[in-house]
A and B are shown apart, each in its own frame.
Chain A
Amino acid sequence: QVQVVESGGGVVQPGRSLRLSCAASGFNFNIYGMHWVRQAPGKGLEWLTLILYDGTKEYYADSVKGRFTISRDNSKNTLFLQMNSLRAEDTAVYYCARASGRYEYDEFEMWGQGTMVIVSS
């Protein structure tokens, strides 16, 4: 079954760190770009970051640049999001999304069901 499944969400205090994972299965993970997108409670979707198929390039939204880091392990078909210096406004459902191809401009072809992150003291 072709799917991506996020994990690692939970409750974390402001200023702390959290690492999310996204396990891919049913497709050749190492030929697709991968994204993280989030949705804060009552808000719309917000693109966060993209990593190319081979991990050579990463792109970030201004809102997370310098705090979040995307990475991937193609040998384990897994995508990661390292989130540091977390703030209350980072509270959201975090989605992993597979691009339709290997280029920066390829759309979000497949999504996971998300993992919830709550930043609260």
Chain B
Amino acid sequence: QSALTQPASVSGSDGQSITISCSGTSSDIGTYNLVSWYQHLPGKAPKLVIYEVTKRPSGVSYRFSGSKSGNTASLTISGLQAEDEADYYCCSYAVSSTTWVFGGGTKLTVL
């Protein structure tokens, strides 16, 4: 149950696009399309922004998109806004162990 690997921080200017990577293994990300992403503001409840790699829940901005290649998943936020500043976590279901594993989290700063 090793954690997925994310960059500790990313930054981008207002209006730009950023991508956060999430690296796993063939036991989690690489096997099934069961990757999700969560936005977390300190003191608040985490919020689901992407599920099943590419799907966006109702109410989540179209500026959020997800993708996957091999054992690495990515979250892209386009048209950055100040309100996007938060911690972002990727998560994958590990089918073989019937467990869930999170990434270490990425702090997004909007300049």
Residues of A within 8 A of B (CB): 35, 37, 44-47, 50, 59-62, 95, 97, 100, 104-105, 107-114
12 interchain pairs, CB-CB under 8 A = A44-B102, A44-B104, A45-B38, A45-B40, A46-B102, A59-B98, A104-B93, A107-B51, A107-B93, A108-B38, A110-B45, A113-B44
Total residues of chain B contacting the partner, CB 8 A: 28
Residues of B within 8 A of A (CB): 1, 3, 32, 34, 36, 38, 40, 43-48, 51-52, 57, 89, 91, 93, 95, 98-105
- Cβ-closest chain B residue relative to A45: B102
Closest CB-CB distance, A22 to chain B, in whole Å?
12
Residues of B within 8 A of A113 (CB): 43-45
Residues of A within 8 A of B57 (CB): 109
